[in-house]
Amino acid sequence: MNILILGAGGREHTLAWKLNQSPKVKNLFVAPGNAGTALIAKNIPIGVNDFHAIKSAVLENDIQLVVVGPEDPLVNGVHDFFLQDSALKTVSVIGPQKAAATLEGSKEFAKEFMMRHNIPTAAYQSFTSETLEEGYAFLENLTPPYVLKADGLAAGKGVLILNDLQEAKDELKTMLVDAKFGSASTTVVIEEFLSGIELSVFVLTDGKGYKVLPTAKDYKRIGEGDTGLNTGGMGAISPVPFADNVFMDKIHERIVKPTVEGLKMDHLPYKGFIFIGLIKVGDDPYVIEYNVRLGDPETEVVLPRIQNDLLNVLEAVANQRLDEIDLIIDKRTVATVMMVSGGYPEAYEKGKEISGLEKVKESMVFHAGTRLENEKVFTNGGRVMAISSYGSHFKDALEKSYESIEKLHFEGMNYRRDIGFDL
């Protein structure tokens, strides 16, 4: 089978690495890909939102399965585009249709979905510029900190957590009236603040049934001790040590089952990965957000723990035969540490040569922002590479990743030395 993966990050390199292990994969393509995917698949230099270029690539290369990595093509309706095109409708797409992708594309939609299906989440109310005064009154009745969320996609930057009431009011106005996040903040969701430890659960559904994939915890802040600016993710660990059977049962019963049942009830067509961001408050799980894709860098620790042929699993999703699959999960921990460009997540330079890759033997190197030129690898983004390792305990896995990082170098490289510090 010929397969196309859409995306260019560590998540997509990991998907390519895993699919490459399947004897049933004939040709593997990644669009646009990075230096890591160039070494194991064929990169196609087109954007993930250029549906017409994607169509040409699919027809030219006789592609039968498309795996969508990031959220924006899904929210923009790439799956629907395939279903509506007579030449593409027999091609399987892994990723929800547009209506279901709204779970990530609109926080208000996601909150209404959770309310309708009794899925535990923070209390909330949403506001527009017409209801600004009511928004102020709602804030006055909350206790700090105040959580303000732009309704639409804002590249991970649309959530503000503020301690001061006046500051919260000012930010609400900036979001609604001055369009701080463009059209993404035409509506703002204000939420009750939940205090606890976060984790993520990944679910794969074929629209009928589902499989729960390994849990993971990511580290979003740039600075050690979870300080400083938010990033796309500086490291991750799977499984999450505190997610014991009792807690996982609560997640299944209160969150995963009603989510998949809710999608069916609301006629939201979903064949793909659901990433449920959770917070543990006391002993109970609450949903912070839904994403309609795999996480990055969570994928770099979740997929290495799945022992099945991933193509078999994805074909079962496409054919709605997921109930016939038994997932086999590696008991070991996988941890990943993200190497980033100096200055990230603010301004940083690209084009630095990466050395030492051939010396790394004990870890898996998943490329994110890299590019290949004359057989040399150069940095090409803020998050550069995720270094993943297996271990009997997360500490052993991390030690291996840190030893591997010692062998790697590029000018300005930075990484967090404290992944797992809170576990």
94 binds, among ligand AMP, ligand GLY, none (CB under 5 to 8 A by kind): none
Spatial CB neighbours of 373, under 8 Å, sequence gap ≥ 6 = none
Min dist. Cβ of residue 226 to ligand GLY (A) = 14
193 binds, among ligand AMP, ligand GLY, none (CB under 5 to 8 A by kind): ligand AMP
Question: Which of 16, 122, 287, 301 is in the footprint of ligand AMP by CB under 6 A?
Answer: 122
191 is an interface residue for ligand AMP by CB under 6 A: yes
289 binds, among ligand GLY, ligand AMP, none (CB under 5 to 8 A by kind): ligand AMP
14 binds, among ligand GLY, ligand AMP, none (CB under 5 to 8 A by kind): none
* Binders in 19-48 for ligand AMP, by CB under 6 A: none
288 binds, among ligand GLY, ligand AMP, none (CB under 5 to 8 A by kind): ligand AMP
Contact 318, 30 (CB under 8 A): no
What's the CA gap between 363 and 365, in Å, rounded? 6
Instruction: Name which of 154 and 306 has its Cβ closer to ligand AMP.
Output: 154
Contact 92, 318 (CB under 8 A): yes
Q: How many CB atoms sit inside 10 A of residue 381's CB?
A: 20
30 binds, among ligand AMP, ligand GLY, none (CB under 5 to 8 A by kind): none
Question: Which of 135, 152, 233, 369 is in the footprint of ligand GLY by CB under 6 A?
Answer: 233
144 is an interface residue for ligand AMP by CB under 6 A: no
311 is an interface residue for ligand AMP by CB under 6 A: no
193 is an interface residue for ligand AMP by CB under 6 A: yes
What's the CA gap between 322 and 113, in Å, rounded? 24
Q: Which stretch binds ligand GLY (CB under 6 A): 55-63, 201-209, 261-269, 295-303?
A: 295-303
Question: Which of 53, 132, 142, 194 is in the footprint of ligand AMP by CB under 6 A?
Answer: 194
298 is an interface residue for ligand GLY by CB under 6 A: yes
262 binds, among ligand AMP, ligand GLY, none (CB under 5 to 8 A by kind): none
298 binds, among ligand AMP, ligand GLY, none (CB under 5 to 8 A by kind): ligand GLY
218 binds, among ligand AMP, ligand GLY, none (CB under 5 to 8 A by kind): ligand GLY
CA distance to 183, 209, 338, per residue, from 106 (Å): 11, 24, 28
142 is an interface residue for ligand AMP by CB under 6 A: no
CA distance to 131, 160, 287, per residue, from 134 (Å): 5, 19, 25
Instruction: Name which of 40 and 194 has its Cβ closer to ligand AMP.
Output: 194
80 binds, among ligand GLY, ligand AMP, none (CB under 5 to 8 A by kind): none
Instruction: Name which of 18 and 352 has its Cβ closer to ligand GLY.
Output: 18
191 is an interface residue for ligand GLY by CB under 6 A: no
Pairing of strands 227-230, 42-43: unpaired
Q: Which stretch binds ligand AMP (CB under 6 A): 60-68, 188-196, 371-379, 380-388?
A: 188-196
Q: Which residue has the tokens 């592609």?
A: 63
Contact 191, 127 (CB under 8 A): no
296 is an interface residue for ligand GLY by CB under 6 A: yes
Q: Which stretch binds ligand AMP (CB under 6 A): 11-19, 37-45, 164-172, 192-200?
A: 192-200
218 is an interface residue for ligand GLY by CB under 6 A: yes
Distance from the Cα of residue 57 to its chain's centroid: 25
Instruction: Name which of 285 and 295 has its Cβ closer to ligand GLY.
Output: 295
Tokens at 148, concatenated: 């303000």
Residues that bind ligand AMP (CB under 6 A): 122, 147, 149, 159, 191, 193-194, 198, 277, 288-289
Residues that bind ligand GLY (CB under 6 A): 218, 232-233, 291, 295-296, 298
